[in-house]
């Protein structure tokens, strides 16, 4: 760790994709970052890169679907840096693409446990830390275009992402009077490892057809573009924004 401790941002799912880009965006503007995820190697690598650039960073191995892990993640943040100002709940999995009729209960539960219950666990301890400190803060959850739109063989994923909107708006209603803002970002098609796996499942031709027919910008987004939206929602420039949904999706058409 290096550098002065200013505002502290905790990012789950920070090992790759949007989570990693978000950690880099916070660090680039001088914030201290805590990286959380299940795979420690990419977290340790990113910490080393941030510290080498003069920033302050640490990581904590975390499975957000385990309540104790979420609690320890926040405790690690407070023990290491003494405060928590921003929390970005980005950890998520897509699960196997299966029809409703063919989905095993265990597969459904695995996706819900990580994407929805895991975000609840994180918010429980993140908000408690912010409330105890009485200095306010900002929480951003990461949903998806599938927070509004289902897709074939994606019932568990879509249900988990739909649920995040209700979780976000309810928490906002509870926490706004304490100076804690809670919002959700719902990205469209973004060039991340998850979407590359989806491309592999669908095939290049079908994937590119979706981009051309459904996305006004005719391209996938970049993780750093979503990261900037998240950082904005945490910043003082978004001081009157809470309980809302921001959709950086390149103009994704919900209907054809």
Q: Which domains does the chain have, with CATH numbers?
A: 8-190+222-246 (3.40.50.720)
Mean pLDDT split into 10-residue runs, the chain, 256 residues: 69 97 97 98 98 97 98 98 98 87 92 98 98 97 92 88 98 98 96 76 71 86 97 97 96 72
In whole angstroms, what is the distance from residue 215 CA to residue 220 CA? 8
Which entry of 125, 157, 207, 240 is annotated as an active-site residue?
157
Closest by alpha carbon to 146, among 201, 195, 82, 193? 195
What is the per-residue pLDDT for 22?
98
Please say if 157 is a catalytic residue. Answer: yes
Apex 201 CA angle, 199 and 202, nearest 5: 65
Predicted TM-score of the model (pTM): 0.93
Which residues on neighbouring strands pair with residue 142, listed in sequence order? 185
Q: Is 157 left (phi over 0), alpha (psi -120 to 50) or beta?
A: alpha
What is the per-residue pLDDT for 255?
60
In whole angstroms, what is the distance from residue 220 CA to residue 48 CA? 29
* DSSP category for residue 39: -
What is the per-residue pLDDT for 201?
65
């Amino acid at each position: 760790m290096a550098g002065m401790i200013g505002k502290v941002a905790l990012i789950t799912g920070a090992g790759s994709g949007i989570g990693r880009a978000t950690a880099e965006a916070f660090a680039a503007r001088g914030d201290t970052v805590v990286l959380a995820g299940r795979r420690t190697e990419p977290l340790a690598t990113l910490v080393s890169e941030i510290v080498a650039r003069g920033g302050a960073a640490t990581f904590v191995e975390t499975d957000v679907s385990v309540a104790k892990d979420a609690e320890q993640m926040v405790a690690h943040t407070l023990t290491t840096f003494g405060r928590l100002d921003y929390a970005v709940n980005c950890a998520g999995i897509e699960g196997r693409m299966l029809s409703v009729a063919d989905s095993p209960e265990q597969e459904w539960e695995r996706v819900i446990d990580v994407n929805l219950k895991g975000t609840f666990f994180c918010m429980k301890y993140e908000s408690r830390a912010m409330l105890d400190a009485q200095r306010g803060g900002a929480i951003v959850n990461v949903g998806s275009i599938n927070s509004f739109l289902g897709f074939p063989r994606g019932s568990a994923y879509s249900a988990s992402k739909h649920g995040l909107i209700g979780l976000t708006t309810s928490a906002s209603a509870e926490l706004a009077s304490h100076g804690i803002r809670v919002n959700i970002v719902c990205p469209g098609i973004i060039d991340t490892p998850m979407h590359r796996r989806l491309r592999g499942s669908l095939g290049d031709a079908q994937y590119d057809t979706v981009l051309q027919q459904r996305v006004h910008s005719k391209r996938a987004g970049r993780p750093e573009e979503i990261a900037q939206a998240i950082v904005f929602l945490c910043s003082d420039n978004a001081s009157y924004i809470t309980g809302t949904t921001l959709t950086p999706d390149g103009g994704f058409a919900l209907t054809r």
